[in-house]
Every structure is written in C-alpha cells, then in structure tokens.
Amino acid sequence: MKDAPLKLTPDTTLTPEALEKASGVLARDGLLLGRGDDAAPQLVLFDGRFTPAHAALLERRPPALLLATREGGQPSAWEARLLSALLRGEPMIPQEAATSVAWLGSVAEVTAVGERAAEAVLQAGGSKGAASRVADVVHEIGVNALLDAPVDGSGEPKYAHRRGQVQSVADEDRCLVSWAVADGRAWLEATDRFGRLSVSPLVRVVKAWGEKAQVDASGGGAGLGLRRILEHSDVVAVRVTPGKRTQFACGVDLGDARRRASQPKSLLFSLERG
C-alpha cells in the first residue's frame, strides 16, 4: 500500500470546481480522489463543524475520514500531509520536527511529560493558553493509552475498571508518548501495544458535539477525555492496528485559546486491515 495510489471517495456535495481544487491539494501528497471500491475509505471535506450526520459517517465501515476545509475553502497542506502519513503507515508527527519521546508507566510520568510538552510550547513562542491545552491533551491521550488500552490474556481490561485507583502499570503495559512543536502547532502522539480502540467512543463525542459535556464511562472511562482532546485540537488522527497498537495523534494550535472548541476540526480514523 505504501507505494500504491490511495483512492478515496469524495463527498458528493462538493461542486466540480471545489473538488478539482481539493484534488490538487491532496495530490501533492499522493492522495488520489476517485470512486475506489467498497472497502476504500470515504473522504468527506466539510467546514470542520461537527453535526450528528458526521457521527453517522464515522460509523461506516471503514469510517469516513472527516477533513476540514480552511484557507479558501480548501483542505490545508499540513492536514493533507497528515492524512497521507496516516494512510501510508508513516510517522504522523512531521518528520522535520525535533521529536521527543518517552516510555511511560505511571500517571505521574504522564503528567511530567505534559509539563515538558507545555514548556516546549512556551519556548516556541506559544501562548500560555496553548501550553495549558497541550498539557491537558498529553494527559488525556497518555492516560487513555496507559490505563484503558491494556488487557489480560483473556481480553479483559486490566486497569480501566479501576481508573481512579491505579497510579502505575506493569512494565509490559507501558505506553509511548511523543511530542514536537512545528509549523505553529504542537504535535502530540500516544501509542499503546494493544490496538483495541474502536471508533465508537469518538462517534459518541461527535453525536453530542455542541451539547453540555457529560461523563460517559462506556468508552472505558475515556469518554469525557476524548471530548476534551477534540475541543483542544485542530486535528485528531488515529491509526489502529488490531491487536498490535493504537497510535493517537493530535495537532494543537499555539495561538490564543478563545473559542478554540468552535474552530474547524478534522477527525481521521484509520483501521488497518489484517
């Protein structure tokens, strides 16, 4: 797949002119728009404001890729790069960025890494609000990977049902957190070795978008955290290799925090085959 053209099905509401312009942006990263087959993911270009209809698109098999339009009504070049990397199995944090990585085995270590990522934002000239958002996102994606992902040999969660009590995990259950600052945003990623995350918790978040946030433990305790992640981020990209790993990446703008939750969002969920 890495060297093959990636065929995606465009949203049928796009005008031919808009589709032609979007095709040019995506083609620069090797993404070719076409009819594809039934197993090919559908690319939906939209204004980045979620509605219940977008939740239904995520429930498709495979889930639709929700890509926001920004400058001039077109997808941004940096999101096209991310989409290409996601689908090709390549690193989602920009390769030119100076990336820091850490293996984490406790909630305290996740918190410490969040503080380090926040400090990197401030050193890059980001706002205090952005630094706070970054620390928050690192905490959420890190704790989700640390406590919600691990299962025992019979497939039963090891820590999720005791999320409020567990402070550290076994060595084999540690997660990897990576972070970098590049092109006006922080890039954050958490990786676990279980590959259990389904699209369902994200579907529930999108369905309730715009409503008052409520705790939802049905996603293993991560429901409210996923909402916070999406509110703070400009893009969320998830690659799940079933039974092997989940990679959960976010891009967080370094600017002012005002009305951040209402800004355009992209949500890209990829379930690898085999």
The pLDDT assigned to 219 comes to 42
Among 233, 236, 237, smallest CA distance to 257 is for 233
The pLDDT assigned to 218 comes to 46
User: Helix 128-143 vs helix 223-232: angle between axes, to the nearest 10 degrees?
Assistant: 150
Q: Are 179 and 92 in contact (CB under 8 A)?
A: no
Structure letter (DSSP) for residue 230: H
Q: What is the CA radius of gyration of the chain?
A: 18
How many Cβ atoms sit within 10 Å of the Cβ of residue 166?
16
Q: Average pLDDT per run of 10 along the chain, which is 274 residues long? A: 56 74 85 68 87 93 90 87 93 95 98 98 95 97 96 93 89 98 95 96 93 53 79 96 96 81 90 76
The pLDDT assigned to 162 comes to 86
Strand order in the sheet with 185-192: 43-46, 65-68, 266-271, 235-241, 245-253, 185-192, 175-182, 100-104
The pLDDT assigned to 92 comes to 97
Between CA 209 and CA 216 the distance in angstroms is 14
Contacts of residues 105-108 at CB distance under 8 Å and 24 or more positions apart, as own/partner, are 105/146, 105/168, 105/169, 105/170, 105/171, 105/173, 105/174, 106/146, 106/167, 106/168, 106/169, 107/143, 107/146, 107/147, 107/166, 107/167, 107/168, 108/167, 108/168
The pLDDT assigned to 134 comes to 97
Q: Are 249 and 188 in contact (CB under 8 A)?
A: yes
pTM for the model stands at 0.91
Between CA 55 and CA 267 the distance in angstroms is 11
